[in-house]
Amino acid sequence: MTNAKEQASGMVAGLDIGTSRIVAAVRSGESETVNAQLNAFVALPHSKMTESSLNRENIPHSAADGQIIVYGNESARMADLLGREIRRPMTRGVLNPQEPESLAQIEELIEAVLGPKGEGAAKVCFSVPAPPLGGDDNLTYHEATIRQILGELGYEDVRAVNEGVAVIYSELEDTNYTGIGVSCGGGLCNVAMAYMSVPVLSFSTAKGGDFIDASAAGVTGELVNRVRLAKEEAFHFNGHYADKVQQAISVYYDDMIQSVVQGLKEAFETTRNVPKFGRAVPLVLSGGGAMPRGFGERFEKAMQGAGLPVAISEVRLAKNPLETTARGALVSALSE
């Protein structure tokens, strides 16, 4: 246990290493800030002028081998202007083995969101996905590599927290960290259950926002990126869709929700020591996928239809769904 005085002197951070976005919640003294960057990059031909423009605008980038690599939020706009695809260091919740350069890129992005480490002790807790139900994906490589990167950046006190558990730490203080946390991300949906902050089960499902985008693009003939924008800017659950893309999005959204609800059911049925809570527990929805209007109601309806063996007191939406995991990781870092 670190005492309060020690904490106040150094930087403590919660880091959400997400497939779509990297988010840091940083506590320094009394102040807390949240920074996010798109977990993506694009390579441009090198020019002195471009480089100095990027410098002036404080846009994360690096120059090597006749190229400039632009990272994060600005990469999407640049790629769009140039008619190129953005490249992504991660896929389905973990580092993407198809992108060999991804380690250098992700290091830059982590540095950009964490900001200057400063002198003195610095502590970071980062999120990791849960394995899929019934399978064991190799999460070891991913977790060990992120640890290595943070070590190279000078962080000595580095820990990992399960993403669903981080959601519980961020949102369920009022039930003493008892309940279910769900994060609907780009690559995966992560689910965890805790009893008085002790994790009792967790799993991930492979259907996240990227699945919705790619599937809806497949059936409508639209570009994946267009579908993503149409989803983020205009999608909501309303029952009837005049627009073909919105209708396709709704189909795959329901598919994603069903995977999570059926996963919960299966997890309860196959986990031996599912605690007898003795009372109904809340379920929190977070992640970018939880943003569309009507998502909570839709999720609740699917849950009622499934007949879960655990009583749910309420389905609530996280206060800021895009920051929940990072904030929960910070709670975890501060508590040890």
Ligand X SMILES: Nc1ncnc2c1ncn2[C@@H]1O[C@H](COP(=O)(O)OP(=O)(O)OP(=O)(O)O)[C@@H](O)[C@H]1O
Cβ neighbors of 101 (< 8 A, separation 6 or more) are none
- Using the contact rule CB under 5 A, the part of the chain among 15-23, 24-32, 43-51, 326-334 near Mg ion is 15-23
As measured in angstroms, the least distance from the Cβ of 257 to ligand X is 13
Residue span 271-310 as binding mask against ligand X, x where in contact by CB under 6 A, dash where not: ----------------xxx-xx------------------
Q: What SS3 state is found at 323?
A: coil
Q: Please name the residues in contact with 136: beta carbons below 8 A apart, sequence gap of 6 or more.
A: none
User: Using CB under 6 A, which of the segments 141-149, 153-161, 204-212, 256-264 binds ligand X?
Assistant: 204-212
Minimum CB separation from Mg ion for residue 15, in Å?
11
Of these partners, Mg ion, ligand X, none, which one is at the site of residue 108 (CB under 5 to 8 Å by kind)? none
CB atoms within 10 A of CB 336: 11
What is the rounded distance in angstroms from the CA atom of residue 312 to the CA atom of residue 304? Answer: 10
Contacts of 201 (CB under 8 A, 6+ apart): 192, 193, 267, 268, 271, 274
Contact track, ligand X, 144-183, x by CB under 6 A: ---------------------------------------x
Query: Which CB, 10 or 259, lies closer to ligand X?
Result: 259
User: What are φ and ψ of residue 200, in 5° steps?
Assistant: -110, -30
Give 224-227 contacts, CB < 8 A, sequence gap 24+. 225/80, 225/85
Binder of residue 228, out of ligand X, Mg ion, none (CB less than 5 to 8 A by kind): ligand X
Q: Could you give the 3-state DSSP secondary structure of residue 239?
A: coil
CB of 184 to Mg ion, least distance (A): 8
Site string for ligand X, 223-262 (x = CB under 6 A): -----x--xx--x---------------------------
**Binding site partner of 231, from Mg ion, ligand X, none, Cβ cut-off 5-8 A by kind:** ligand X
Task: Find, among 233, 230, 249, the residue nearest to 241 by Cα.
Answer: 249
Is 187 a binder of Mg ion (CB under 5 A)? Answer: no
Q: Give contact residues for Mg ion (rule: CB under 5 A).
A: 18, 183, 185
